[in-house]
């Protein structure tokens, strides 16, 4: 066929396709109207949309406000706005978009700072990504998850040695205000061995977003990181989307076989955003004002992290900060988080006030997979360290006033002698990163092996055997 005939054939095919599109009936969209607004809750009638569906509300100035369906009652649909609601009027048009939220993902997100719906905040222009995934993700069959078997270096000696974290573990970072939580997160982003770091700053102060990006991450750290920022002045639905978006990005990189570090700061602000939405649409409060849906949303978010189901997939090691209101460890969100996470790290205000940073309370902190990722001798030495530290803490008041009598308890005597060394072991500056091998070696040096027992009479077999048994007993006591 000649080139002219090829051109005519192509035109005929395109004309036929255009004709078919013209003959197809245009889809009818049943628009609704806005009837009521109380706080941030919008009520609309005349449109049928599923929970989680998206719509746009036309303002008097011609602007459109995006909203999401969060509930319904009879013919009324409850909407929660994603953006600014100024300009909305009674009987405003409600235009269904007919789809749930899909968000853009891809390697192009590395080095960028975005808001809860993917709009750039860093002034580097729009983000063009070829792939998109569902915002809320898909659950993983618990029986198909790969087990946690490898330790993860987080760059902090106290955690590596005494609260060892596994690759794919979900940990909680429990802290009150002003005890060094943000500094500890910054150290993790800087020193943790991960291919990609995804940070979700949810409901925090806007000032902290810039400080975290410029000081904690820096240019080198931001190059292999994605930051999703939804500060405290964002609507509650935007804050929920920020946590979901950060998790969805981490899932994307995990599916590409990468080792991902996910930091969500904070899980408490996520819960508070869900509480605001639930109370606004009439859900009854349960525990300290938190509604039942809050405690259902927490595991839905947390369970998306961890190891994947296929050997070709990578892992998501996640740290979720939890704000303990009034330093109450039995805060409802803190209590719920402890039940669904694989361990927790407690930051103590009393330790911070003594000037020791990071202010990790090693007695109250625990890693539930530690025994699966480290050898038995490491585990025994970590237990011995905690026992010594706990013995000193239990008698701190007596020791400080001079009421403790040396010789009353050999364990306490040893803890008093070694307490300065323990404090130096737990203290670490921001600029100092300690790898896992270095942390392990420092803990091993803290408990040197006892010298071998020398026998004076090689011919006396019974005495030599007795001395050998005594030496074994001494070694066992040192590790117990």
Task: Give the helix ranges, DSSP H, for 256-305.
Answer: 267-280, 292-302
Mean of pLDDT values over 253-280:
93
Q: How far is CA 249 from the centre of its chain?
A: 13
Confidence of residue 464 (pLDDT cuts 50, 70, 90): low
**What angle, 0 to 180 degrees and rounded to 10, lies between the N-to-C axes of helices 436-446 and 376-394?**
60
Give the span between the Cα atoms of 418 and 479, in whole angstroms.
16
- Say what percent of the chain tops pLDDT 70: 88
Sequence spans of domains, the chain: 26-96, 102-371, 381-446
Confidence of residue 19 (pLDDT cuts 50, 70, 90): confident
Give the span between the Cα atoms of 266 and 264, in whole angstroms.
5
pLDDT on residue 472: 58
Between 190 and 366, the more confident residue is 366
Query: DSSP 3-state assignment of 128?
Result: coil
197 pairs with which residues across the strands? 225, 261
pLDDT on residue 462: 57
Confidence of residue 11 (pLDDT cuts 50, 70, 90): low
Pick 381-446's CATH classification: 3.40.250.10, 3.30.1220.10, 3.40.50.10860, 1.20.1270.330.
Answer: 1.20.1270.330
pTM of the model: 0.84
Mean of pLDDT values over 275-287:
89
Pick 102-371's CATH classification: 3.40.50.12240, 3.30.590.10, 3.40.50.20, 3.30.450.40.
Answer: 3.40.50.12240
Give the span between the Cα atoms of 45 and 96, in whole angstroms.
12
Contact 467, 455 (CB under 8 A): yes
Mean of pLDDT values over 209-216:
85
Which CA distances in Å does 185 have to 253, 351, 356?
21, 18, 16
Taking the alpha carbons of 356, 336, 281, 325 in that order, is the dihedral positive or negative?
negative
pLDDT on residue 476: 52
pLDDT on residue 128: 86
137, with CB counted inside 10 A (0-12, 13-18, 19+), is middle
Give the span between the Cα atoms of 407 and 364, in whole angstroms.
28
- Mean pLDDT of all residues belonging to the chain: 86
Neighbours of 362 (CB within 10 A): 24
Neighbours of 403 (CB within 10 A): 9
For 35-65, write each residue's pLDDT tens digit. Answer: 998 888 899 998 888 888 889 999 888 889 9
pLDDT of residue 233 exceeding 80: yes
CATH 2.40.10.170 fits domain 26-96? yes
Confidence of residue 307 (pLDDT cuts 50, 70, 90): very high
Which CA distances in Å does 450 have to 187, 403, 465, 467?
35, 32, 18, 14
* Residue from 312, 373, 369 nearest 343 by CA: 369
pLDDT of residue 101 exceeding 80: no
- In this predicted structure, which of 123-127, 218-222, 331-335 has the lowest mean pLDDT? 218-222
Query: DSSP 3-state assignment of 67?
Result: strand
Q: Which distant-in-sequence residues (6+ apart) come within 8 Å of 3 by Cβ?
A: none
Residue 287: phi and psi, rounded to 5, are -100, 115
Mean of pLDDT values over 249-270:
93
* Residue from 40, 72, 42 nearest 57 by CA: 42
Could you say which DSSP state residue 312 is in? T
Confidence of residue 312 (pLDDT cuts 50, 70, 90): confident
Mean of pLDDT values over 223-242:
92
Query: DSSP 3-state assignment of 73?
Result: strand
Confidence of residue 180 (pLDDT cuts 50, 70, 90): confident
DSSP letters for 132-162: EEETT--PPPGGGSPPP-SEE--S-HHHHHH
Confidence of residue 253 (pLDDT cuts 50, 70, 90): very high
CB hemisphere CA count around 271 (13 angstroms)? 28
Between 219 and 302, the more confident residue is 302
367 pairs with which residues across the strands? 343
pLDDT of residue 201 exceeding 90: yes
Mean of pLDDT values over 96-114:
86
């Amino acid at each position: 066929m000649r080139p002219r005939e090829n051109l005519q054939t192509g035109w005929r095919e395109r004309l036929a396709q255009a004709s078919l599109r013209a003959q197809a009936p245009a889809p009818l969209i049943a628009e609704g109207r806005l009837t009521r607004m109380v706080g941030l809750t919008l009520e609309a009638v005349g449109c049928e949309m599923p929970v989680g569906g998206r719509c746009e509300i036309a303002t008097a100035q011609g602007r459109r406000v995006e909203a999401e369906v969060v509930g319904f009652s009879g013919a009324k649909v409850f909407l929660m706005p994603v953006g600014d609601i100024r300009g909305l009027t009674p009987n405003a048009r409600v235009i269904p978009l007919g789809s749930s939220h899909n968000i853009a993902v891809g390697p192009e997100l590395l080095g960028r700072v975005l808001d809860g719906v993917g709009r750039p905040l860093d002034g580097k222009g729009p983000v063009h990504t070829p792939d998109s995934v569902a915002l809320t993700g898909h659950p993983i069959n618990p029986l198909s998850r790969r087990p946690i078997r490898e330790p993860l270096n987080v760059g902090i000696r106290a955690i590596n040695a005494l609260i060892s974290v596994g690759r794919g573990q979900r940990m909680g970072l429990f802290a009150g205000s002003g005890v060094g939580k943000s500094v500890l997160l910054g150290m993790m982003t800087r020193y943790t061995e991960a291919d990609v770091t995804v940070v979700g700053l949810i409901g925090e102060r806007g000032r902290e977003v810039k400080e975290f990006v410029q000081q904690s991450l820096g240019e080198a750290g931001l190059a292999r990181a994605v930051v999703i920022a939804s500060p405290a002045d964002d609507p509650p639905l935007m804050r929920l989307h920020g946590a979901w978006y950060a998790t969805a990005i981490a899932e994307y990189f995990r599916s590409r076989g990468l080792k991902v570090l996910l930091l969500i700061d904070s899980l408490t602000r996520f819960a508070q955003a869900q509480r605001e939405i639930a109370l606004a649409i009439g859900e009854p409060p349960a525990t300290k004002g938190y509604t039942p849906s809050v405690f259902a949303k927490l595991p839905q978010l947390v369970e998306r992290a961890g190891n994947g189901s296929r050997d070709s997939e990578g892992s998501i090691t996640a740290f979720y900060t939890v704000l303990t209101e009034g330093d109450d460890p039995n805060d409802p969100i803190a209590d719920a988080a402890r039940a669904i996470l694989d361990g927790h790290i407690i930051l103590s205000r009393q330790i911070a006030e003594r000037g020791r940073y990071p202010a990790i309370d090693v007695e109250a902190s625990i890693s539930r997979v530690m025994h699966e990722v480290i050898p038995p001798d490491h585990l025994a030495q970590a237990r011995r360290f905690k026992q010594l530290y706990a013995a000193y803490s239990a008698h701190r008041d007596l020791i400080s006033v001079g009421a403790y009598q040396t010789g009353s308890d050999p364990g306490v005597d040893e803890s008093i002698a070694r307490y300065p060394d323990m404090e130096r072991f737990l203290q670490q500056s921001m600029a100092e990163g300690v790898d896992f091998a270095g942390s392990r070696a420092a803990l091993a040096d803290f408990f040197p092996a006892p010298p071998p027992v020398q026998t004076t009479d090689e011919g006396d077999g019974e005495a030599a055997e007795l001395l050998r048994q005594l030496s074994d007993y001494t070694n066992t006591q040192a590790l117990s």
